[in-house]
Amino acid sequence: MKSNKAPLGASVIPAVIFRLTKWTVLPEDVEPGYSRAGYGFRESMSPTELMDSVRAWWLITPDDLASRGIEHVVASFQTETKAVYRIDDIFGREKDNRVAFKLTQLTTGKAFDDYYLYQGLKVTAKKGDQNEFVYWPLGK
């Protein structure tokens, strides 16, 4: 279902939007004793697979999220929001300074309304920008 809402503005709740790629099978530990099957997006994936895909492993700093007031994660594939989550905890791994999140999926509330009900989200990267995520609103 597509909506005709205007582009996201600066009044939305701050979030980090992860631009998922096509599904890649890569079993990987997320937490001790818990692994995910891969990352990215594919049709018919379960809500747990989607959350596992977006929750780890990102080259992002908790201090950067805190300074931007970010407490939410958005999973996006192409131009469609797939899920909105609240960040419950952030933890890292020392070998490459990447972080993972403990998340709760949202189905109501302002963050959900700001992002999930907005279909057609286009996050434009600058030429040469290889980031798999963007902070929203931009410019902070």
pLDDT of residue 12: 83
pLDDT of residue 2: 44
pLDDT of residue 1: 38
Name 53's bridge partners.
none
Residue 24 amino acid letter? T
Q: How far apart are CA 81 and CA 73, in angstroms?
A: 11
Question: Which residues of the chain are modeled with pLDDT < 50?
Answer: 1-6, 127-129
Q: How far apart are CA 80 and CA 116, in angstroms?
A: 9
pLDDT of residue 128: 47
pLDDT of residue 38: 94
Q: What DSSP character marks residue 48?
A: H
What is residue 138's three-state secondary structure? Answer: coil
Entry pTM: 0.85
> Backbone phi, then psi, for 51, in 5-degree steps?
-60, -45
Antiparallel, parallel or unpaired: β 15-20 and 72-77: parallel
Q: How far apart are CA 42 and CA 26, in angstroms?
A: 14
pLDDT of residue 4: 43
> CA triplet 48, 53, 58: central angle to 5 degrees?
140
Contact 57, 74 (CB under 8 A): no
Other residues' Cβ atoms within 10 Å of the Cβ of residue 6: 7
Domain residue limits, the chain: 15-124+132-136
